Chains A and B, each alone.
Chain A
């Protein structure tokens, strides 16, 4: 066996005094051989990103190594000075970060940012740098290298920017590449391309890859070996196939069980359910505004039509820019559509003025994506939930009383009403968001990516909660998501959106078995891990709360 490129031995990282636990990482030991991909998997707070930052010597100041060793090709990095680490970064370890949108300097041309890696390590002359930069841009699969080289980051898409990041990480042909959630911010088809690219480059250059992710689908695609982290402790480590199919530790089993399967559960019987919600020919065009000339136009929704029955969930699936969120907002009239009809039950709401619509707003409510930003931080949870009913004329005392009952309904204790949003975790806040939406007893619930900011185990709980509430309250749900796994488990029917149009609308099982449109097929093929990973929510053993 060849000597490992990276060997982490009994690494311990200490957190500052106010943190929720004293150690970020406790006695972590890992090794990666040349040409091998190790996936480090865990939920938020597991310490997986800190492991990566410790390896490249960029830990936040407050986090201090408290023991152990990180050996790169046999040399311990922890005792090295900042100056010595500077020489190793970029030359021997390449790093790819999560956020392609913000990880590149916005005022520097792409070529300058790539060749800066050479410059920092005194490699090549001016001309050589320029040539190598163009070669690298071509190697990571970007079209028209001279044009990309001259471009600024904002002129590139997210996937293209991530390719530039990869080119920078590869520049000095490092022994080790660390990729910290490199595809999390990308669309599923782009993610598939980037994963392929990283894997191809690993094979070609024999680079060792440490791949940080929370996504078991990605693990199934790319990992040779897997290390599972929970609260800073490695609970399981082994070959990818073994960990994915025969997990030993309870935590790994639970995580895997919480990954939604692409195989949908048996369909519900919805025959005879009355129509709760109808949208017909909804269109919305965004226009750039100019003083002397017309701006460009984007058709965000182009004659979108669908209906949802009582107790039914319709999935609205698509990649970023497909128009799915615009549709979600238009049907709420948070954005005014240009044309089309929207009916809640018998009421057509498009013709109403905003003032006439206001008393009817309670019939359609929304659950937002970001549980951190969508709750007013200066109000108690009880007030947040009661605000809607109070605005609709319910006496304050009664509304607050009801808020307590709702908190109980969504699986939080009633005394949560007196606390503030920051005292709750992400999953708990999303429960509050759901309780707020339900406070007005709506007939229709619009959920815009309600679980995409949550860890997989929490995500499963929130999905189970929504299904349970739907059964009890007969809600019609419009479920906007980019995640086909979640859609497979949650939705009765799925509408696939591309460039503002619904290209396919089918019952879920049929869509997954026999997709008709080429775009649907491409989306399904791009889901990492495919059908090998994931379980139905029922199999996850997560009981609907309540």
Chain B
């Protein structure tokens, strides 16, 4: 078990370094130069000033040297410095991370619980109106673009019905503290979390339903029935227990994306998370921040892949240790 973990972590480090190099190369290959953008904003777009900026930030050094400096920083967990914001990238990312984790984590939990429950219900009632309703709704939400759902839900639940706040992370200027602040944030969270969770709820529901129906026809379910096991125990212990396996795989993939944030949702709801940080950095050619966000998201994908493998081995004994 320890061997397996050590081997997987070692592989993970190799993968992350490769990703870091690739990210670096990709960003430099893209057109645009942060020095000209900055100079333009400063209203002094002459060659000398641009050259000064380049020298100051080390952008005039050879590419390989720049890459070396970057990788060395990463190994010491220093993600670099944002020239635009005048702050370290690590502190910028660290500041935005909690909001993103709260949003995507809630959406993840909602979609996993709701999706499997609805999928299981639809499978048990296959062919009835409940099944039709769930399947149709799942298809609808699976097919509808996320940002459109976000805008429509803002109009309906916030502007028309006034049930929840429209945008933002908390009520600005209210100065809540303690429990009041927590409740305020949760109130703001409801709409974006549900909107973001809908897509995966639909996905899990469809998958769980198909998986349950397939498992229900398997030989070992027939064996259980031949033993005289009651239908509810057959469904719970034999059908659902096995049907959940492909859903776990999919959930692992989704979990990896949690930290990458949800650019569309965060933008529409003005949610101060990683997704918006990335969007802003992109518009400003803030290389260091972009690289930092990319790297943290990749690290999380690698980490969650490992966690998924561990979870998978816990739920499926056929997966061998280290296999």
Binding site for B on A (CB under 8 A): 56, 58, 86-91, 94-95, 97, 99, 102-108, 116-117, 120-121, 152, 154, 165, 168, 171, 290-292
Q: Name A102's closest neighbour in chain B (CB-CB).
A: B219
Give the complex CA separation of A416 and B322 in angstroms.
Answer: 52
Q: How does the 8 Å CB contact mask read for B149-189 relative to A, with 1 for contact and 0 for none?
A: 00000000000000000000000000000000000000000
Cβ A89 vs Cβ B223 within 8 A: no
Segment at the interface with A among B102-110, B234-242, B298-306:
B234-242
CA distance A56 to B237 in the complex (A): 21
The one of B7, B229, B241, B318 in contact with A116, judged by C-beta atoms closer than 8 angstroms, is B229
Q: Can you report 5 residue pairs joining A to B where beta carbons are below 8 Å apart?
A: A90-B229, A105-B224, A106-B316, A290-B322, A291-B11
Q: Are A107 and B227 in contact (CB under 8 A)?
A: no
- In the complex, the answer to whether B318 meets A90 with C-beta atoms within 8 Å is no
Which residues of A lie under 8 Å from residue B317 when comparing CB positions?
Answer: 106-107, 152, 154
Interface SS, B side: helix
Please, how many angstroms separate the alpha-carbon atoms of A528 and B233 in the complex? 39
In the complex, what residues of A have CB within 8 A of residue B229's CB? Answer: 86, 90, 116, 120
Is B76 part of the contact surface with A, judged by Cβ < 8 Å?
Answer: no
The answer to whether A106 and B242 touch (CB under 8 A), given A99-B219, A120-B233, A152-B318, is yes
Q: Which residue of A lies closest to B322 (CB)?
A: A290
Residues A168 and B223 in contact in the complex (CB < 8 Å), given A107-B316, A154-B317, A291-B11 = yes
A97-B242 contact in complex given A87-B228, A152-B318, A291-B7, C-beta closer than 8 Å: no
Question: B220–A116 contact, CB under 8 A?
Answer: no
Q: What is the interface size of chain B, counting residues whose CB is below 8 A from a CB of the partner?
A: 27
Give chain A residues whose Cβ lies under 8 Å from the Cβ of B238. Answer: 105, 108
| A120 CB, nearest partner CB in chain B, Å | 5
Beta-carbon contact of B223 and A117 below 8 Å: no
Are B218 and A56 touching (Cβ within 8 A)? no
- Asked if B56 is at the interface of the complex by the 8 Å CB criterion, the answer is no
Given A102-B218, A104-B220, A152-B318, answer yes or no on A56-B242 (Cβ-Cβ < 8 Å).
no
Which residue from A56, A97, A107 sits with its C-beta under 8 Å from B315?
Answer: A107
B222 located at the interface, meaning its Cβ lies under 8 Å from any Cβ of chain A in the complex: yes
What 7 pairs across the A-B complex have the smallest Cβ distances? Answer: A90-B228, A95-B226, A102-B219, A89-B228, A90-B227, A105-B220, A152-B317
Given contacts A58-B222, A292-B7, contact A106 B318 (CB under 8 A): yes
Determine if B223 and A104 form an interchain contact, defined as CB atoms under 8 angstroms apart: yes
A219 to chain B: closest CB distance in Å? 24
Once the chains bind, are B225 and A58 in contact (CB under 8 Å)? yes
Give Cα distance in the complex from A87 to B226, angstroms. 10
The verdict on A97 contacting B223 (CB below 8 Å), with A102-B218, A107-B241, A152-B317 known, is yes
Partner of A58, one of B7, B226, B241, B242: B226
Residues of A within 8 A of B7 (CB): 291-292
Binding site for A on B (CB under 8 A): 7, 10-11, 218-220, 222-231, 233, 237-238, 241-242, 245, 315-318, 322
The reply to whether B226 and A56 form a contact with Cβ atoms under 8 Å apart is yes
A208 CB → nearest B CB, Å: 17
**Cβ-closest chain B residue relative to A109:** B317
CB contact under 8 A between A117 and B220, given known A107-B317, A152-B318: no
A107 contacts across to B, CB distance below 8 A: 241-242, 245, 315-318
Contacts of B231 in A (CB 8 A): 86
Q: Is A116 within 8 A of B227, CB to CB?
A: yes
Q: Shortest beta-carbon distance, B217 to chain A, in Å?
A: 10
Q: A152-B317, A154-B317, A292-B7 are in contact. Are A103 and B223 (CB under 8 A)?
A: yes
Q: Which residues on B sit within 8 Å (CB–CB) of A108?
A: 237-238, 241
Complex-state Cα separation, A87 to B230, whole angstroms = 9
Contact of B220 among A56, A58, A103 (CB under 8 A): A103
The answer for the CA separation of A56 and B109 in the assembled complex, in Å, is 42
Most chain B CB inside 10 Å of its own CB: which residue of A58, A91, A120: A120
| Closest A residue by C-beta to B221 | A105
Residues B228 and A120 in contact, CB atoms below 8 Å apart: yes
**Taking A107-B241, A152-B318, A292-B7 as contacts, is the C-beta distance between A102 and B220 under 8 angstroms?**
yes
Distance to closest chain B CB from A170 (angstroms): 11
CA of A94 to CA of B11 in the docked complex: distance in angstroms? 50
Q: Which residues of A contact B219 (CB under 8 A)?
A: 97, 99, 102-103
Q: Given the complex, which residues of B lie within 8 Å of A99, measured CB to CB?
A: 219
Beyond A88-B228, A89-B226, A90-B226, 9 extra complex contacts between A and B, CB < 8 Å: A56-B226, A58-B225, A103-B220, A105-B223, A106-B316, A106-B318, A107-B242, A108-B237, A117-B228
A117 in complex: contacting residue of B227, B315, B318, CB < 8 Å? B227
Q: Are B318 and A91 in contact (CB under 8 A)?
A: no
Whole-angstrom distance between the Cβ of B310 and the nearest chain A Cβ:
16
Q: In the complex, which residues of chain A have a beta carbon less than 8 angstroms from the beta carbon of B224?
A: 105, 116
Considering the chains assembled together, what is the distance between the CA atoms of A168 and B223 in angstroms?
9
CB distance from B242 to the nearest CB of A (A): 6
Complex contacts, B226 vs chain A, CB 8 Å: 56, 58, 89-90, 94-95, 97
Closest chain-B Cβ to A51's Cβ sits at a distance in Å of: 15
- Residue of A with least CB distance to B215: A105
Contacts of A56 in B (CB 8 A): 226
Distance of B225 from chain A, by nearest CB (Å): 6
What CA separation (Å) do A51 and B230 show in the bound complex? 23
Complex interface: chain B residues within 8 A of A290 (CB): 322
Taking the nearest CB of chain B, how far is it from the CB of A513, in angstroms?
A: 41
Quick check: B220 and A106 within 8 Å, CB to CB?
Answer: yes
Residue of chain B at shortest CB distance from A101 = B219
* Shortest beta-carbon distance from A56 to chain B in Å: 6
Nearest-Cβ distance from residue B141 to partner chain A, whole angstroms: 30
Q: Would A120 and B223 count as touching, CB distance under 8 A?
A: no
CA distance A88 to B220 in the complex (A): 19
Contact status A105-B242, CB under 8 Å: yes
Most chain B CB within 10 A, of A105, A120, A171, is at: A105
Taking the closest CB of chain B, its distance from the CB of A506, in whole angstroms, is 40
User: Of A89, A154, A291, which one neighbours B227 at CB under 8 angstroms?
Assistant: A89
Residues in B neighbouring A104, C-beta threshold 8 A: 220, 223
Chain B residues whose CB sits within 8 angstroms of the CB of A89 once the complex forms: 225-228
- Closest chain B residue, CB of each to CB of A106: B318
- Give the residue of A97, A105, A106, A121 whose beta carbon is less than 8 angstroms from that of B228: A121
* CA–CA, A168 and B229, complex, Å: 12
Q: Using Cβ atoms and an 8 Å threshold, which residues of chain B touch A103?
A: 219-220, 222-223
* Distance of A107 Cα from B322 Cα, bound (Å): 18
Residues of B within 8 A of A88 (CB): 228
Q: Given A107-B317, A108-B237, A291-B11, answer yes or no on A120-B222 (Cβ-Cβ < 8 Å).
A: no
A87 surroundings in chain B (CB, below 8 A): 228
Closest to A82 in B: B231
- Which residues of chain A are within 8 angstroms of B318 by Cβ–Cβ distance? 106-107, 152, 154
Q: Nearest residue in B to A165 (C-beta to C-beta)?
A: B223
Chain B: minimal CB distance from A77 (Å): 13
Which B residue's beta carbon lies closest to that of A93?
B226
Shortest Cβ gap from A397 to chain B (Å): 45
Q: Report the minimum CB–CB distance from A177 to chain B (whole Å).
A: 11
